[in-house]
């Protein structure tokens, strides 16, 4: 998988979609447990997804138990959440590929304006 940089985004181009995500290119991308990604489907709209591992969700709940947020860590929610079984950008791109290939990305994520200035929900 090739990852390029386009302004503030790292970019992964696949046959069915282009994924853009803000991340430090010097970080170990295969250790990512939590990442927001913009997904532009080939010939289609752009979606927003938050990808997290169960470990990342557990860490948030534990932190909130100490800070008192979300009723002391008694719940967790976020829109457009996709949970991956393992960390890393490879696992996240595989999850997105599955959502796009199976036609489920529209059910899992909402359409947004393309952060790269391309097609949006009104096109």
Whether 37 and 23 have beta carbons less than 8 Å apart is answered as no
> How remote is the C-alpha of 60 from its chain's centroid?
17
pLDDT tens sequence across 97-108: 999 999 999 999
pLDDT at 1: 86
For the segment 77-91, the average pLDDT, to the nearest whole number, is: 95
> How remote is the C-alpha of 116 from its chain's centroid?
16
All structural domains of the chain with their residue ranges = 3-112
| Burial classification of residue 81, based on how many CB atoms lie within 10 Å of its CB (0-12 exposed, 13-18 middle, 19 or more buried) | middle
Q: Look at 8-12, 85-89, 109-113 and tell me which has the smallest mean pLDDT.
A: 109-113
pLDDT higher than threshold 50 for residue 119: no
Whether 38 and 115 have beta carbons less than 8 Å apart is answered as yes
Going 31 to 11 to 8 to 34, the CA torsion angle's sign is negative
pLDDT tens sequence across 26-71: 889 999 999 999 999 999 999 999 999 999 999 999 999 999 999 9
pLDDT tens sequence across 4-14: 999 999 999 99
Which of 98, 94, 92, 110 minimizes the C-alpha distance to 29?
A: 92
Going 12 to 42 to 49 to 115, the CA torsion angle's sign is positive
């Amino acid at each position: 998988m090739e990852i390029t940089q386009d302004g503030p985004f790292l970019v992964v181009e696949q046959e069915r979609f282009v994924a853009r995500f803000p991340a430090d290119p010097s970080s170990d991308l295969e250790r990512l447990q939590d990442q927001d990604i913009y997904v532009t489907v080939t010939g289609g709209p752009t979606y927003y997804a938050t990808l997290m591992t169960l470990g990342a969700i557990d860490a948030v709940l534990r932190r909130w138990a100490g800070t008192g947020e979300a009723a002391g860590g008694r719940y967790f929610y976020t829109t457009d959440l996709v949970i991956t079984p393992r960390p890393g950008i490879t696992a996240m791109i595989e999850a997105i590929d599955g959502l796009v290939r199976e036609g489920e990305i529209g059910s899992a994520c909402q359409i947004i304006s393309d952060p790269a200035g391309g097609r949006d929900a009104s096109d």
